[in-house]
Amino acid sequence: MTQAPRKPQVAARFGAAAHRYEDHAPIQRITAERLAGDIARLRLPPRPRILEIGCGTGLLTQALARRLGPADWTVTDISPAMLATSQRGPALPGTARFEVLDGEYPQALAGPYDLICSSLAVQWFTDLNAGLGRLATLLAPGGHLAVATLADGTFDEWRAAHQAAGLVAVTPRYPAHAAIRPAMGNLAGSVHSERLIQNHPDGLTFLKGLKGIGATTPAPGRPPLSAAALRRVLAAFDEQGATVTYHLAYGMWKKTTQRPVGVFVTGTDTGIGKTLVSAILARAWNADYWKPVQTGVSEEPGDTDTVAQLARLPPERLHLPAYVLQAPLSPWAAATLEDTVVDATTIVPPTTDGPLIVEGAGGLYVPIDDTHMMIDLIARLDMPVVLAARSGLGTINHTLLSLEALKRRGIPVLGVVMSGPLSAGNKEAIERFGDVRVLAEIPPLSKVDAAAVDALAQIIPPLEDCLAALGGAPAVAD
């Protein structure tokens, strides 16, 4: 098991505070109760298999026990002392085991679990989203991941006091709640936020409270303040009112029991022919069609209508976009103009009986919202890619750059479809240097209609053969 250099320090400081933790933990108690209340509303099976990460002294453990009743509990913490304190609490209904574990690296656990939960512990992960993704791999189909963590804005008053004293706080930075998402596909869910304000008699009381719960490990690479500097900060903090704001993020995700078999169609550029390629693939593979984010509807019909006509798709095989925007711009830019909020983490593929063709907007690095590009959505949906490319001058460079970007993210590429005048040399170069198959070449068409799509669909290899070339077709069930 790999640990970041600061993890032993975090474990030691929390362990030293175990005996007095609950005397200084009102925010932790409130958060645990609220998270437990959210979890109690989930549809869990009888006697669920539960994994708790960072149990501390057992605030969330006991809150869940009161609400859920008998379960198969695996309760963990990075600190042996904290774990021992939790284990000495009231007996859990059902069966229970207690294990010392760095929850960011849970590979020693086998799973699967119906519920993986954590209250105010995962903020100590070195890479929050990657750690959440590793935890999510331990979920059973239909299982839930539920966490409460600190978000951006927490301890802003303390940072402001440092700034007033001409210093920079060593307090760790926390992510915006919208940026918290497990780095794994097949999860549906969201994150909501809450703000709690805690008033203190003075700054020294605030610091004693942090020490009382063991939350005193500085951000990586940041030495603690000298005594003189700390006195200046405390004076500024007291002058501001000795108030601290906690921004809490509650994430709730469910591992979907199915993921669609199909592909994500993206392009080396905008206007590259993705919609035509999508129609051809939908016709060839008898697939459903979905465009998660549609822009530019003020100037032309949406791509869903176009694909429906070209591929002769009945209404039941068409799925509405998650977002529709008027301006012919990137989703991020269009949403800004239209005073609309787009959140890529809320985009979840529809349930289908057969294959699904997903068409992106623009190329891989088109921004969807403030923190996500199209390539982030592709990775999250966990589907192989068909890359639409031009056939002419410059396509080798553009196509190989796109293929390299996908490779770096570990996203499999089913193949490339080239559009334009046939170029045997460009096709050969892309296949050779991109280590990818060109599935089809679409020549210039005198008329783009359903008949043309029917003819082009005949040259597309079967989907099963394409998936098998990647190492085996993905199962419909997890």
Q: Is 272 annotated as a binding residue?
A: yes
Q: Is 314 annotated as a binding residue?
A: no
What does the alpha-carbon distance between residue 127 and residue 137 come to, in Å, rounded to a whole number? Answer: 16
Residue 148, φ and ψ in degrees, nearest 5: -120, 135
Contact 233, 162 (CB under 8 A): yes
Q: Per the annotation, does 445 bind a ligand?
A: yes
Q: Is 142 annotated as a binding residue?
A: no
Answer positive or negative: Cα dihedral of 307, 313, 314, 316.
negative
Provide the token pair at 106: 């849970």
Is residue 271 part of an annotated ligand binding site? Answer: yes
Separation CA 254–CA 117 (nearest Å): 12
Task: Match 């985009």 to its residue by tokens.
Answer: 347
Q: Residue 444 annotated as binding?
A: yes
Reduced to 3 states (helix: H, G, I; strand: E, B; else coil), residue 342 is coil
Assess contact for 364 and 406: CB atoms under 8 A. Answer: yes
Cα–Cα distance measured from residue 415 to residue 468, given in angstroms and rounded to the nearest whole number: 12
**362 appears as a binding residue in the annotation:** yes
CA dist., res. 438 & res. 88, Å (int): 62
**Where are any strands of DSSP class E within 261-384?**
262-267, 288-290, 293-294, 318-319, 323-324, 356-363
Tell me if 295 is assigned to a ligand binding site.
Answer: yes
Q: Give the span between the Cα atoms of 430 and 391, in whole angstroms.
A: 10
Is 260 annotated as contributing to ligand binding?
Answer: no
459/254 Cα distance (integer angstroms): 39
Q: Per the structure block, which two tokens stand in for 329?
A: 């711009």
Query: Per the annotation, does 276 bind a ligand?
Result: yes
Sign of CA dihedral 298, 300, 306, 308: positive
SS3 content of the chain, % helix, strand, coil (to 5): 40, 25, 40
Alpha-carbon distance 281 to 456, whole Å? 9
Q: Which residues are part of the catalytic machinery? A: 291
241: how many CB neighbours lie within 10 A of its CB?
A: 10
Output the six-digit token pair for 78: 């990075």
Ligand-binding site membership of 360 (annotated): yes
Binding residues: 271-276, 295, 359-362, 443-445
Binding residues for Mg(2+): 275, 359
Binding residues for ATP: 271-276, 359-362, 443-445
Binding residues for substrate: 295
